[in-house]
C-alpha cells in the first residue's frame, strides 16, 4: 500500500489503522493515523477503537476530545467505542458522562449504544 501511495487514501488508511490495532500494533496505528492527511469520523473511530481494545481509556477520551476540537461529527460507533473503553470500575464516572452525552446527542436510542451502556454498568456491578 505504501509503495503505491494508497496509504493516503482515507479508506485504506482507516483499514490499516484497524488492522494494526487488531494485531496489537498501537504505535503503528498511531503513526499511520498521524500521517493521514484526511481524517473522517471512521478514522477517529478506528483510533479510538485501537485504544479501547488495549484498555487505554484515557487515550480514547483524549482522541475523542481532539475529534471534537477538529469539529468531526461523532456517531453511535464513536460512543460505543468510548463506553467500551470505560468498562472498568475506576472509569465509571467517564462512562456516566458518556451516557449523558449519548442522551443529549440523540444517540442514546441506538440499540448498540444501549447494549454497550448495559454492559458497562453490568461490569461495574451497577
Tell the burial category of 23 from Cβ atoms under 10 Å away from its Cβ (0-12, 13-18, 19+). exposed
Instruction: Give Cα separations from 63 to 6, 16, 46, 66 (angstroms).
Output: 24, 18, 10, 5
Q: Is 0.95 topped by the overall pTM?
A: no
Q: Are the C-beta atoms of residues 26 and 51 closer than 8 Å to each other?
A: yes
Burial letters 67-88, b for 16+ CB under 10 A, else e:
beeeebebbbbbbbbbbbbbbe
Q: Summarize pLDDT for 34-91 with one digit per residue, the tens.
A: 988 889 999 999 999 999 999 899 999 999 999 999 999 999 999 999 999 988 667 8
Cell numbers linked to 59: 487515550
Tell me whether residue 115 is in a domain. yes
Tell me whether residue 24 is in a domain. yes
pLDDT value of residue 10: 87
For the cut 70, the answer to whether the pLDDT of residue 1 exceeds it is no
Tell me whether residue 1 is in a domain. no
Share of the chain above pLDDT 70, in %: 94
Q: Structural domain tally of the chain?
A: 1
Q: What is the mean pLDDT of residues 26-39?
A: 92
Q: Summarize pLDDT for 94-117 with one digit per residue, the tens.
A: 999 999 999 999 999 999 999 999
Other Cβ atoms less than 10 A from the Cβ of 123: the count is 15
Range of the domain at 83: 6-123
Instruction: Pick from 2-6, 67-71, 82-86, 122-126 the range whose average pLDDT is largest.
Output: 67-71
d(CA 44, CA 120): 21
Contacts of 14 (CB under 8 A, 6+ apart): 40, 42, 43, 46
Average pLDDT of every residue of the chain: 91
Residue 7: pLDDT band with limits 50, 70, 90: low
Amino acid at each position: 500500500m505504501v509503495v503505491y501511495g494508497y496509504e493516503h487514501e482515507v479508506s485504506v488508511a482507516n483499514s490499516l489503522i484497524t488492522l494494526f490495532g487488531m494485531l496489537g500494533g498501537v504505535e503503528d496505528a498511531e503513526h499511520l493515523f498521524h500521517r493521514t492527511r484526511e481524517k473522517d469520523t471512521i478514522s477517529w473511530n478506528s483510533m479510538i477503537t485501537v485504544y479501547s481494545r488495549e484498555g487505554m481509556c484515557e487515550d480514547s477520551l483524549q482522541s475523542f476530545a481532539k475529534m471534537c476540537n477538529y469539529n468531526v461529527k461523532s456517531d453511535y460507533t464513536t460512543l460505543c467505542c468510548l463506553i467500551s473503553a470505560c468498562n472498568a470500575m475506576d472509569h465509571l464516572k467517564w462512562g456516566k458522562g458518556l451516557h449523558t452525552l449519548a442522551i443529549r446527542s440523540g444517540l442514546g436510542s441506538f440499540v448498540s449504544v444501549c447494549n454497550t451502556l448495559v454492559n458497562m454498568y453490568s461490569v461495574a456491578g451497577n
